[in-house]
Amino acid sequence: MAGATLIDGKAMAARLTETIKTKTAALSEHGITPGLAVVIVGEDSASQVYVRNKKRTAEACGFLSVQHSVDKDCSQDELLELIRTLNDDADIHGILVQLPIPDHLDATLVTQSVLPAKDVDGFHYENIGKLTAGNLAGTFVPCTPAGCMLMIEEQLGLDLSGLDAVIIGRSIIVGKPMASLLLAANATVTICHSRTKDLPQVARRADILVAAVGRPNMVKGDWIKPGAVVIDVGINRIDITVDGEAKSKLTGDVQFDEAVHIAAAITPVPGGVGPMTIAMLMANTLRSAERTQESV
Q: Which of 8, 98, 118, 176 is catalytic?
A: 98
Which of 8, 121, 207, 253 is labelled catalytic?
A: 121
CA-based R_g, the chain, Å: 19
21: annotated active-site residue: no
Which of the following is catalytic: 23, 54, 176, 225?
54
Alpha carbon 144 to its chain centroid, in Å, reads 2
Counting Cβ atoms within 10 Å, is residue 71 exposed (0-12), middle (13-18) or buried (19+)? exposed
CA 91, 278, 134 angle in degrees (round to 5)?
Answer: 85
- Does 98 participate in catalysis according to the annotation? yes
Q: CA of 188: how far to CAs of 66, 148, 185, in Å?
A: 41, 17, 9
Q: Is 54 a catalytic residue?
A: yes
Query: Catalytic residues, which ones?
Result: 54, 98, 121
